[in-house]
Structures are given as structure tokens and as C-alpha cells.
């Protein structure tokens, strides 16, 4: 299992982030908050296209459901745990969306830009097929759950401030509406509905969605660099280090323990899910933070720090897996 292709991909990602940093520092795109404009473009145009096309083309019958459950159970449990602890410790005046933003930073991996080349290089076609199955449900599962949680928190906050109806039924209805009519959740639901009808995507529609979806990766990497230039690391590094430790150490350990000793995974499936859990923080953490205008500097720093440190932690997890055979 060679790490060379993965390290090359990692270096390329850091180079694109550096380019975004230069663009932000030199203000090539002007002074009128271009990072937020790019973030909105990603969130409202490119990411929805990618999510709809992915879910509409998903082959549900061929999914390795046992392996997927072994991966997503520890991921969701850790995500819920981080959210619950931070929600309980939330102090007056702190951002209401903060617990959800930090929860996504602790659990949402870079499963496409880093994960796909890593799985292909280390595990071949058989391992790649398992990883692609994880990718197909990754954003769908984590973003949907976190969107519902953050919208509920915001609804409660608005009710406390008297800017929203405090009647429980109407508040839940408003929360459900805000969760569904959302640039992440709505295209996922629409794609699943299209999939359930077994309808093929027309050629022109499929090609259009493909072109839009391909813009997500470079756009988000440039956005990370620009955000780093605007926000810097001051005041965000401590939180970024803590979240990176959760993502690079605690999460893969949880996946290893649950996958191997609870669900009985061994060999290739175990290796794939553990390395998927060990991936650095994905770009959606920054996009999510920008959507709710919360902890953007910390989310940016976490993506950058975890991506850089992954070069050291990935070989360690491969060594641990080699001990298990």
C-alpha cells in the first residue's frame, strides 16, 4: 500500500489553498467580501448540483449496508456527543449555531478529494467501491442531521427573543420547513425521490449537473485559502487543534473499535472504514459555518491544520491496521 499518490494529492490540495490565500491577501477579487460570495455560490449552486446528481444515481441495491452501518454508527454517535456537550456548555452570548459547526468539523471528512485517491492507491478497486459507497451517504447523512439540529437551535433562540411563535407545534413546523427547504437537504431529498421513481437523468441534465458538481472541489479549496487570509489563525488555532485531534485520532479509533469489536469487520472492509474515519476535515465544514455565519475562522483553521497533520497520522493508522492483519 503506497502513500505516495496520497501525499501528492495532499500537496496539491495545500497548493490550491495557498493560491486562495494569495488571492485573498492581494485582494484580487476586490474588497466586497468575495469569500462570502464564493461560499454562497458553492452552497446554493454547485453543492446542490453535486448532491442531487449523486443521490439520483445511487444504486441502493448494491450498497454494502453492513459495512456502512459499522462506519456511520460511531461517526453519528461522536457527532451527537460533541454537539450535546457543546450545547450543554453553551454560554449566553455565544453563537447558537456553534455546537453544530464544531460537530461537523469534528466528524465530516474530506472523503472526495483525499478519500477517493487514498482508497484507490491503498486498497485497489475492491476498497474503492466500499469507499465510494461511504461517500454516497456521507453528506446526505451528516449534513441532514446537523441541519435539522441547527435549525431547531435557531428556532428556540428566536422564540426566546420573541421573534418567532413559541407555540411548540408551529415552532416544529417552521423548523421542519427550514430544514427541508434548504440548499443541502432539498437536493438530497429531490435526488432520492428521483431515484425511487427509477427515472434516468436526461443526458443534458446529467452533463449540466456534472459540470456544476466538478466546480465544488477547486472552488472550496480556493475559498479555504481566501478565508484563511481574511480571518487568520489568531484566536482560532486552539479550537482548530482540538477539533483536528477529534477528527484525526478519536473518530478513527471509534470506527476501529465499533467496526472490529462490535460489528466484526476484518481485513479490507475494516481498513477502508478506519481510513475513511481518519481523513482530514472536509470543505463542507467551512461552507456550513459560512451558511450560519458562525466560527468561520475556526472552521477554516481546522480544515488547514487537519489536512497538514494528516500526512503524519495516516501512516500511523495504517500501522495500527497492519497489527490487526
Three cell numbers written together for 234: 489568531
- Region 236-252 average pLDDT: 96
Q: What is the CATH number of domain 4-323?
A: 1.20.1530.20
Cβ pair 120, 173 in contact under 8 A:
no
Q: Where are the domains of the chain?
A: 4-323
Distance CA 297, CA 304 (A): 11
Tell me the CA distances in angstroms from 210 to 128, 227, 258, one per residue in order: 20, 26, 35
List all residues 6 or more positions away from 1 whose beta carbon is below 8 Å from its beta carbon.
121, 122, 123, 318
Closest CA to 277 of 258, 253, 257: 253
pLDDT at 119: 85
The fraction of the chain above a pLDDT of 70, given in percent, is 94
- Please compute Rg for the chain using Cα positions: 19
Task: Inform me whether the pLDDT recorded for 107 exceeds 60.
Answer: yes
- Region 49-55 average pLDDT: 86
Distance CA 260, CA 321 (A): 11
Quick: pLDDT tens for 140-187. 889 889 988 998 898 888 888 776 555 556 666 766 676 677 777 788
pLDDT at 170: 65
Distance CA 191, CA 206 (A): 12
Cβ pair 69, 130 in contact under 8 A:
no
Closest CA to 136 of 51, 49, 259: 51
pLDDT at 172: 65
Cβ pair 75, 247 in contact under 8 A:
no
Quick: pLDDT tens for 194-228. 988 988 999 999 999 999 988 887 888 888 888 88
Q: Is 308 helix (H, G, I), strand (E, B) or coil?
A: helix
pLDDT at 157: 85
pLDDT at 77: 97
Distance CA 273, CA 134 (A): 8
pLDDT at 255: 97
Task: Inform me whether the pLDDT recorded for 105 exceeds 90.
Answer: yes
Quick: pLDDT tens for 227-242. 888 887 777 899 999 9
**What value does the mean pLDDT of the chain take?**
87
Instruction: Rank 59-68, 251-260, 285-294, 313-322 by mean pLDDT and report only the highest.
Output: 251-260
pLDDT at 324: 86
Distance CA 46, CA 191 (A): 15
Distance CA 138, CA 110 (A): 10
Closest CA to 282 of 316, 255, 312, 247: 247
Q: Is 144 helix (H, G, I), strand (E, B) or coil?
A: helix
Confidence band for 291, pLDDT divided at 50, 70 and 90: confident
Confidence band for 301, pLDDT divided at 50, 70 and 90: very high
Q: Is 173 helix (H, G, I), strand (E, B) or coil?
A: helix
The fraction of the chain above a pLDDT of 90, given in percent, is 43
pLDDT at 139: 83
Quick: pLDDT tens for 3-35. 677 778 778 888 888 999 999 989 888 877 788
Cβ pair 236, 305 in contact under 8 A:
no
Q: Is 281 helix (H, G, I), strand (E, B) or coil?
A: strand
pLDDT at 253: 97
List, in sequence order, the alpha helices (H) in 183-282.
185-196, 203-214, 216-231, 237-245, 251-257, 267-277
- Region 37-55 average pLDDT: 86
Question: 281 - beta bridge partners?
Answer: 109
pLDDT at 216: 82
pLDDT at 161: 78
Distance CA 210, CA 192 (A): 17
Amino acid at each position: 500500500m503506497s502513500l505516495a499518490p496520497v501525499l501528492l494529492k495532499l500537496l496539491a490540495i495545500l497548493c490550491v489553498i495557498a493560491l486562495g490565500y494569495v488571492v485573498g491577501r492581494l485582494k484580487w477579487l476586490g474588497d466586497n467580501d468575495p469569500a462570502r460570495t464564493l461560499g454562497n455560490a458553492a452552497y446554493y449552486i454547485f453543492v446542490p448540483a453535486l448532491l442531487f446528481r449523486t443521490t439520483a444515481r445511487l444504486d441502493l441495491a448494491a450498497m454494502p449496508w453492513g459495512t456502512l452501518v459499522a462506519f456511520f454508527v460511531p461517526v453519528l454517535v461522536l457527532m451527537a456527543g460533541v454537539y450535546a456537550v457543546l450545547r450543554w456548555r453553551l454560554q449566553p452570548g455565544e453563537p447558537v449555531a456553534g455546537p453544530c459547526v464544531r460537530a461537523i468539523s469534528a466528524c465530516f471528512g474530506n472523503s472526495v478529494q483525499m478519500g477517493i485517491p487514498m482508497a484507490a492507491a491503498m486498497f485497489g478497486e475492491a476498497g474503492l467501491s466500499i469507499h465510494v459507497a461511504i461517500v454516497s451517504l456521507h453528506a446526505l447523512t451528516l449534513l441532514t442531521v446537523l441541519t435539522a439540529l441547527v435549525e431547531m437551535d435557531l428556532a428556540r433562540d428566536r422564540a426566546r427573543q420573541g421573534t418567532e411563535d413559541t407555540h411548540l407545534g408551529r415552532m416544529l413546523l417552521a423548523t421542519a420547513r427550514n430544514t427541508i427547504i434548504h440548499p443541502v437537504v432539498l437536493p438530497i431529498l429531490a435526488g432520492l425521490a428521483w431515484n425511487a421513481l427509477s427515472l434516468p437523468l436526461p443526458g443534458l441534465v446529467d452533463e449540466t449537473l456534472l459540470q456544476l458538481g466538478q466546480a465544488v472541489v477547486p472552488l472550496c479549496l480556493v475559498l479555504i485559502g481566501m478565508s484563511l487570509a481574511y480571518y487568520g489563525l489568531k484566536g482560532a488555532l486552539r479550537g482548530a487543534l482540538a477539533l483536528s485531534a477529534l477528527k484525526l485520532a478519536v473518530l478513527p479509533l471509534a470506527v476501529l473499535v465499533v467496526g472490529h469489536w462490535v460489528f466484526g469487520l476484518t481485513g479490507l472492509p475494516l481498513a477502508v472504514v478506519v481510513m475513511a474515519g481518519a481523513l482530514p476535515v472536509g470543505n463542507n465544514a467551512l461552507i456550513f459555518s459560512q451558511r450560519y455565519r458562525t466560527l468561520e475562522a475556526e472552521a477554516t483553521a481546522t480544515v488547514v491544520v487537519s489536512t497538514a497533520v494528516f500526512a503524519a497520522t495516516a501512516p500511523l493508522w495504517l500501522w495500527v491496521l497492519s497489527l490487526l492483519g
